[in-house]
Amino acid sequence: MSLQYIIDAYNLINHPAFKPANRHAVNIQSALADFISSNRLAGSKNNRVILVFDGYPPSGEDIPSADNLKSMFSNGREADALIRDLVESSPSPGSIIVVSDDKEVRISSRLLQAGVCGVEEFIRGKDSHKDPAGGKRVDEKPDLGFSQMQKINAELKKKWLGEGK
């Protein structure tokens, strides 16, 4: 089963470990695509990558794309909303891994049944978010539903604040 990575692109670009191999790349989008490809961060060549950027595509510049890599721009809305829409509209969100350090993106992705990993984990542990034995992802999905998490948070809040004594 191939995976689809949806990457919060500026999270990755702004990470200290992002060191483009081609310092003379035409643009930052191409540098990021080259970085992911040359370091084989998406694992198998069968895995697909969608780079999600805030804003509009730069005019007059080539936007990287290949059979397994696509760049998307949020065009006037937040990239976080585009990421959520991509996961939500997927027929198989369980085969998606969202790469972001944004807490809201990670939570909404988990709730939509997608896997998540942080940028550090994606860069550092190329295969740390996949099960080496079976090739399936090992995600951070909670075993609790949203309403159960809310109930536990309310109980913890009462205990922490000393309410209900």
Which whole number is the average pLDDT over 104-128?
87
Contact yes or no for 105/85 (Cβ under 8 A): no
pLDDT at 131 over 50: no
- 94: its two tokens: 């369980």
pLDDT at 132 over 90: no
CATH of the domain at 8: 3.40.50
- 107: its two tokens: 């939570």
Residue 160 lies in a domain: no
Instruction: Check residue 19 and give its pLDDT.
Output: 81
Residue 100 lies in a domain: yes
pLDDT at 140 over 60: no
Count of domains observed in the chain: 1
Residue 157 lies in a domain: no
Instruction: Check residue 107 and give its pLDDT.
Output: 95
pLDDT tens-digit profile of 84-101? 999 999 999 999 999 999
Torsion sign over Cα 133, 50, 36, 15:
negative
pLDDT at 138 over 50: no
Confidence of residue 137 (pLDDT cuts 50, 70, 90): very low
Residue 62 lies in a domain: yes
Radius of gyration of the chain (CA): 18
pLDDT at 26 over 70: no
Residue 158 lies in a domain: no
Which whole number is the average pLDDT over 126-147?
49
Residue 122 lies in a domain: yes
Q: What is the 3-state secondary structure (H, E, C) of the chain?
A: CCCEEEEEHHHHHCCCCCCCCCCCCCCHHHHHHHHHHHCCCCCCCCCEEEEEECCCCCCCCCCCCECCEEEEECCCCCHHHHHHHHHHCCCCHHHEEEECCCHHHHHHHHHCCCEEECHHHHHHCCCCCECCCCCCECCCCCCCCHHHHHHHHHHHHHHHHCCCC
User: What is the residue range of 58's domain?
Assistant: 4-139
Instruction: Check residue 164 and give its pLDDT.
Output: 61
Residue 150 lies in a domain: no
Q: Where is mean pLDDT largest: 13-27, 46-60, 144-158?
A: 46-60
Residue 145 lies in a domain: no
